[in-house]
Amino acid sequence: MRVSAIIMPFFTLLAGAAGFYLRQTELWNVFDRYTGLPQRWSGITLGLIALCAAFLLIALLFSIGVGMKYRSPAGFENAYGTDPLTYPFAFCVIGIVWLGATVKQFVDLNAIGSMPNSELYFSILSALAAISLAFFAVEMYQDPRRKIIFSLSVVPTLFMCFWLILVYKQNAANPVLLSYCYQCLAIIASTLGFYFTSGFVYNKPAPGKTVFFYFASIFFCFVTLADGHSLTTSLIFVALIAVNITYSSMLIRNLRLKKA
């Protein structure tokens, strides 16, 4: 699976870049600049939907093949092949970028007045998720049997669930589902990616489902980057792309044939 560990993430990046381009084109040409309403049956919109369906089908077929033919070694540190340099360094960098973006948003919102409770909770959980990613990587290399590992593995999942609720709350009165649906799909896929990653810590591995949601997260995070989010939100989506690219490559590379 070493070849697939390079080809599939690279293919996902290409598909995500195409999705980003189509989404950006859609926002520029399909949505009315005054009312915010999209044109009905736009070719660009249908093309983006077709690209999403085609990519998800390919990712699904690949993940089904992984689930049927391959298994992962027992334990997170074996399934992902953690090493003392690359793994902690990569996730420390990702965590620092994520944390820096969160701190910037917290400072900016406080500078313009009182911060809503929902944004305060978002900042706290986002900071905890960023810190947990870095500490999880370090602690996993030091001693994967420590109990703190189990707690750190679920923090990003909790944050993503809260973020999804917050996005829905902010768009509850928005009748244009097309304007925020890709952001929701990116958050949902990322949530499930973190959830199934935790399964390897709790000795409940599901490699097929895990790699599917890794690829779905990468793709939809790319697409929603075209939506013109704040710098903080965009940097978190970039961090999620980096997380899922790294995790997918690490996991696929270490899969073993069931027959073997």
pLDDT digits (tens, 9 = 90+) for 16-57: 999 999 999 999 999 888 777 888 889 999 999 999 999 999
pTM to 2 decimal places: 0.94
Q: Is 174 helix (H, G, I), strand (E, B) or coil?
A: coil
Q: Higher model confidence: residue 248 or residue 108?
A: 248
Mean of pLDDT values over 75-85? 85
Domain count, the chain: 1
Specify whether the CB–CB gap between 96 and 127 falls below 8 A. no
pLDDT at 212 over 70: yes
Q: What pLDDT was estimated at residue 1?
A: 63
Mean of pLDDT values over 126-151? 86
The span from the CA of 234 to the CA of 225, in Å, is 6
C-alpha dist (Å) from residue 239 to 92, 147, 234: 11, 26, 9
Q: What pLDDT was estimated at residue 74?
A: 83
Mean of pLDDT values over 205-221? 97
Dihedral sign (CA 182, 187, 189, 190): positive
Domain that holds residue 116: 4-257
Q: What pLDDT was estimated at residue 139?
A: 85
Query: How confident is residue 225, by pLDDT bands cut at 50, 70 and 90?
Result: very high
> Highest mean pLDDT: which of 118-127, 140-149, 208-217?
208-217
Q: What pLDDT was estimated at residue 217?
A: 98
CA neighbor of 83 nearest in space, from 199, 249, 206: 249
Q: What pLDDT was estimated at residue 127?
A: 96
C-alpha dist (Å) from residue 201 to 48, 81, 196: 36, 13, 9
pLDDT, one tens digit per residue, over 116-128 is: 888 899 999 999 9
Q: What pLDDT was estimated at residue 17?
A: 97
pLDDT at 141 over 90: no
Q: What pLDDT was estimated at residue 205?
A: 93
CA neighbor of 146 nearest in space, from 77, 96, 204: 77
Query: How confident is residue 154, by pLDDT bands cut at 50, 70 and 90?
Result: very high
Specify whether the CB–CB gap between 181 and 168 falls below 8 A. no
Question: Which region among 62-71, 91-100, 101-110, 211-220 has the lowest average model confidence (pLDDT)?
Answer: 101-110
CA atoms within 13 A on the CB side of 110: 8
The span from the CA of 58 to the CA of 8, in Å, is 10
pLDDT at 177 over 70: yes
Mean of pLDDT values over 69-82? 88
The span from the CA of 60 to the CA of 215, in Å, is 9
Mean pLDDT of the chain: 91
Mean of pLDDT values over 146-150? 79
For the CA atoms of 109, 158, 19, 38, the dihedral, rounded to the nearest 10 degrees, stands at -60
